[in-house]
């Protein structure tokens, strides 16, 4: 038996979808990459989901187990890594992180900020088993 293969995946951004539709899109991305790598089975996959996204981890996991039934992805371990929401103050350039609610810039008190991280939704890696 060939040991599991880790497939690096270019980030496929998925924006503006409900968990079921988004998870179906993830399944299609994973199946496409696995097929191109001649996978017999998908063992696991890692997702990056930003804190600012509206997606609920348990809902994504439930949808994954439902949609992957009967595919080479059935039973694959789904690992979700949450990405912290990071901002850059437009007033002073300071970087700061989301703290349960939006707050002013801790350096200058400014209220205008640009999102640097936390809106991600991507497949970051897939582990497969080949024939």
pLDDT tens, position by position, 68-106: 999 999 999 999 999 999 999 999 999 999 877 778 899
Report yes or no on 110 lying in a domain.
no
The C-alpha atoms of residue 96 and residue 131 are separated, in whole angstroms, by 47
| Torsion from C-alpha of 75, 23, 122, 82, nearest 10 degrees | -80
CATH number, domain of 71, equals: 3.30.2320.50
Greater model confidence, 5 or 102: 102
Report yes or no on 111 lying in a domain.
no
Number of domains composing the chain: 1
Structural domain including 60 reads 5-84+118-130
pTM of the model: 0.76
Report yes or no on 34 lying in a domain.
yes
């Amino acid at each position: 038996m060939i040991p599991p293969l880790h497939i690096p995946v270019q980030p496929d951004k998925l924006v503006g979808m409900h968990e079921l539709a988004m998870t179906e899109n993830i399944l299609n991305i994973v199946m496409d990459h696995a097929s191109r790598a001649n996978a017999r089975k998908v063992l696991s996959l890692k997702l990056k989901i930003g804190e600012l996204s509206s997606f609920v981890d348990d809902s994504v996991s439930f949808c994954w187990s439902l949609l992957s039934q009967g595919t080479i992805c059935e039973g694959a371990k789904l690992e979700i890594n949450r990405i912290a929401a990071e901002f850059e103050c437009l007033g002073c350039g300071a970087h700061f992180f989301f703290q349960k609610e939006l707050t002013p810039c801790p350096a200058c008190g400014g209220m205008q900020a640009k999102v640097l991280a936390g809106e991600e939704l991507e497949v970051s890696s897939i582990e497969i088993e080949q024939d």
